[in-house]
Chains A and B, each alone.
Chain A
């Protein structure tokens, strides 16, 4: 299965190190390949270093491209994580 969806970063600090680490942890729960397209960049969501190079601040839309048997579950989990501001207060 192949899914693609744009999701906004809504927490105050954006995709900083701790948030990115949470995203990696979530992504790693799934077998699917998860890539993020942003502008000309295309990074692996399972790579913290890749995510850091996105420098995605609050308000950035990231396009998640997920491919694999559990793509649907992965997309749902990521969507929830972002909506939940990575577990942060603001």
Chain B
């Protein structure tokens, strides 16, 4: 069996080596889990419940079949009941749970595999095939076991590389990084959910693998090269050795970055900026300070709204924001209000069936249309702000009227909370995101009614250049160094500083080390980037003289093309930085 190499899209850097775990969210994956002594009774109960459920399902099928096709055809389900009565299911599995202290589904799969192996040796094809009925019953039982326990990924007792068609937020929530070493998905791109989560957790990941799930068996040795976007299945020894060396040197480099953790984001000529983290899901909160962030420049709240039928209540949101405030302590955290289109979480909110959702009813527009949703979020934020220095930020502002309307609603919430005698903080700082060209152009007027601005470059680039970067046909036009983008950024920065206010940048552009020398020179006060790149960005800032970066920025604003801008950066950074960046 030779090694096979597959190409995908590099989604999160690093190298992972480990056995494959084929993950089917609703499927029959049954990873082995060792139980603690006190867990065995609960596991036996869980198993017995699944047995009862399976029995009921088979009875139902039998009745249905009898109705439709008569007694004779229904008899097969009577046989299925007898399969369930088998000493294997009735006695051996529960005993094994107690004596071997393993989870039920693993023991079941093991027993069925053994049975299948025996059946496969039979000469008589009729009997060989009959094994399928027993497998069928076994599968039903396993399904009933795992269906009640969707979070198999959370209970692994060994290191794995997860291979899946796709991973949903419900799969990645609380994913333990001590057992999950990396992932590969058939679908997705650099900005899909899996990619973002992988980067924030610092897990190597390759996405857009097309049909890797069909090529890989559970337990196959897998190498995930998240730097190059390669996946090696069942590598030969020389390949494995080579990758082990690569992995070590990559990790050593990462470790050298971690030593910067406690140091400020200070240039050699003593210009200091704030280096903050973008947070996608709350489980990243524990990682942030380990990576040396000084706060949270963007706390996304979409996770609260996704994957569910109902809008989260004020209480539910309050406890999430309170957790944020408690975990960040004295460091500031900027909570961004809901940034989704209605179609993303509640279909009935978006009855229009928009043909152009990115230009449609989403983010602040949706919130202003549905003050009930918006107010619940604002009230929760105001209440949580007593636990730490939380700020609030509105996404997708395109006109001043939206800022004013949002502030009126915020004030309304303050009045309500006061009247109700609730504990909350009234003097919360309010900001807006600059991600629509009109807002950047009007930044001087917007900032007069706000405390800060934060530039969201992903959308700013998309809306300025009219490019959907997920669309492969036009993705080449998505260009952060386009001089028009640089001018809009500079315009926003100057407007804020003129008003004596601060301005940050929280798009992916800020997390690209090559762009940092330029952005630094644009005099942005805060860089908010995804957790995993914080050390790298800090390293660049600590090597880049501020005066020099200002010269770069000045010159860049006069450049005609992005190629010229990139060349300018390359030619003007100190040699030791050039060696790292280019």
A contacts, CB < 8 Å to B: 13-14, 16-18, 20-21, 24-25, 28, 44, 46-50, 52-53, 55, 57
> How far apart sit A50 and B115, CA to CA, in the bound complex (Å)?
9
Task: Name A17's contact: one of B85, B88, B122, B133 (CB within 8 Å).
Answer: B133
- Consensus secondary structure, chain A interface: helix
6 CB contacts below 8 A, A to B, read: A21-B78, A21-B79, A48-B134, A49-B134, A52-B130, A53-B119
Chain B residue with the shortest CB-CB distance to A57: B124
Taken residue by residue from 67 to 89, chain B's Cβ proximity to chain A (1 for < 8 Å, 0 otherwise) reads as 00000000110110011011110
**Most B Cβ at <10 Å: residue of A28, A46, A49, A53:** A49
> How far apart sit A47 and B75, CA to CA, in the bound complex (Å)?
18
Instruction: Name the B residues within 8 Å of A48 (CB-CB).
Output: 79, 82-83, 85-86, 134
Contact status B82-A55, CB under 8 Å:
no
B contacts, CB < 8 Å to A: 75-76, 78-79, 82-83, 85-88, 115, 118-119, 122-124, 126-128, 130-131, 133-134
Beyond A55-B122, A57-B126, list 15 extra A-B contacts (CB 8 Å). Answer: A16-B127, A17-B130, A21-B79, A21-B82, A24-B82, A25-B82, A48-B79, A48-B82, A48-B86, A48-B134, A49-B86, A49-B115, A50-B86, A53-B119, A55-B123
Task: Name A49's contact: one of B88, B123, B126 (CB within 8 Å).
Answer: B88
Contact status A24-B130, CB under 8 Å:
no
Contact status B79-A18, CB under 8 Å:
yes
Chain A residue with the shortest CB-CB distance to B125: A55
Question: Provided the pairs A16-B130, A18-B76, A44-B87 are in contact, do residues A53 and B118 lie with their beta carbons within 8 angstroms?
Answer: yes
Contact status B85-A53, CB under 8 Å:
no
Instruction: Name the A residues within 8 Å of B75 (CB-CB).
Output: 18
Chain B residue with the shortest CB-CB distance to A41: B118
Instruction: Name the B residues within 8 Å of A57 (CB-CB).
Output: 124, 126-127
| Closest CB pairs A-B (n = 10) | A55-B127, A21-B82, A21-B79, A55-B122, A53-B118, A55-B124, A17-B79, A48-B86, A47-B87, A17-B130
Q: How far is the CB of B100 from chain A (nearest CB, A)?
A: 19
> How far apart sit A87 and B124, CA to CA, in the bound complex (Å)?
23
Contact status B85-A24, CB under 8 Å:
yes
Instruction: Name the B residues within 8 Å of A44 (CB-CB).
Output: 87
Chain A residue with the shortest CB-CB distance to B88: A49
> How far apart sit A36 and B32, CA to CA, in the bound complex (Å)?
33
Instruction: Name the B residues within 8 Å of A24 (CB-CB).
Output: 82, 85-86
Contact status B85-A16, CB under 8 Å:
no
Contact status B88-A47, CB under 8 Å:
yes
Chain A residue with the shortest CB-CB distance to B132: A17
Contact status B119-A52, CB under 8 Å:
yes
> How far apart sit A53 and B75, CA to CA, in the bound complex (Å)?
20
Instruction: Name the A residues within 8 Å of B78 (CB-CB).
Output: 18, 21
Instruction: Name the B residues within 8 Å of A18 (CB-CB).
Output: 75-76, 78-79
> How far apart sit A46 and B85, CA to CA, in the bound complex (Å)?
9
Instruction: Name the A residues within 8 Å of B115 (CB-CB).
Output: 49, 53
Contact status A52-B131, CB under 8 Å:
yes
> How far apart sit A49 and B88, CA to CA, in the bound complex (Å)?
8
Contact status A53-B122, CB under 8 Å:
yes
**Most A Cβ at <10 Å: residue of B78, B79, B118, B133:** B79
> How far apart sit A57 and B75, CA to CA, in the bound complex (Å)?
20
Q: How far is the CB of A12 from chain B (nearest CB, A)?
A: 11
Contact status A52-B134, CB under 8 Å:
yes
> How far apart sit A87 and B75, CA to CA, in the bound complex (Å)?
12
> How far apart sit A53 and B85, CA to CA, in the bound complex (Å)?
17
Instruction: Name the A residues within 8 Å of B119 (CB-CB).
Output: 52-53
> How far apart sit A57 and B123, CA to CA, in the bound complex (Å)?
11
Instruction: Name the B residues within 8 Å of A25 (CB-CB).
Output: 82
> How far apart sit A25 and B204, CA to CA, in the bound complex (Å)?
54
> How far apart sit A23 and B115, CA to CA, in the bound complex (Å)?
19
Chain B residue with the shortest CB-CB distance to A53: B118
> How far apart sit A90 and B78, CA to CA, in the bound complex (Å)?
20
Q: How far is the CB of B114 from chain A (nearest CB, A)?
A: 10
Contact status B87-A46, CB under 8 Å:
yes
Instruction: Name the A residues within 8 Å of B128 (CB-CB).
Output: 55
> How far apart sit A24 and B131, CA to CA, in the bound complex (Å)?
16
Q: How far is the CB of A19 from chain B (nearest CB, A)?
A: 9
Instruction: Name the B residues within 8 Å of A17 (CB-CB).
Output: 76, 79, 130, 133-134
Instruction: Name the A residues within 8 Å of B85 (CB-CB).
Output: 24, 28, 48
**Most A Cβ at <10 Å: residue of B85, B123, B127:** B127
> How far apart sit A20 and B115, CA to CA, in the bound complex (Å)?
16
